[in-house]
Amino acid sequence: MAGAGTFAAGAGLAGADLQSLSLAAVPMVQAAQYDPRLRVIVQNADGTTAEVHPVDQTVAYCLTIKLGTISSDPTRGFDWDKLKATAPQARQHAATDLVKRALAKPLAAGDVTIVSVQLRQDLGRLAVVTNYINNRLPNAQQVPFTATFNG
């Protein structure tokens, strides 16, 4: 028994009885679904984590997280600053190039095939719509994905 002062706090680390905890009650997910608009991991109605294919999770991170902001992998992300600084008439070409750069690792691994990249501009917002194929799914289908930059 571990305790705090003269009072018993239960068995185990910090008074937690580890033997009574059931890990089977917590379902493991292969890859958590990331919502780039809200910048959160999606939760199902029952509180469990929504699941997506790992390739789709990688695409979401690579296209929506700003390049250099993940300290453990500063090469992962999309260079929104470069796209914003590009002249308007050259932005479509730049967007296509930046998507290819952001997805360089999954492209090299054969995980994805880029079908199309479209740049949309609305009221000061830049949106890059990338249609891709997740090559790791048995019936590979085109997946539309929109990443939006507010700036």
At 89, which CATH number? Answer: 3.10.450.40
Q: pLDDT tens, 112-126?
A: 999 999 998 777 788
Is 21 a domain residue?
no
CB contact at 8 A, 107 and 114 = yes
Residue 16 forms part of a structural domain: no
- Give the domain extent around 77: 29-150
- What's the total number of domains in the chain? 1
Q: If pLDDT is split at 50, 70 and 90, which confidence band does 105 have? A: very high
pLDDT digits (tens, 9 = 90+) for 54-102: 998 999 889 988 898 888 888 889 999 999 899 999 999 999 999 999 9
pLDDT, average across residues 28-44: 84
For 147, the enclosing helix (H) or strand (E) is strand 142-150
7 pLDDT exceeds 50?
A: no
Orientation angle between helical segments 91-102 and 54-64, nearest 10 degrees:
130
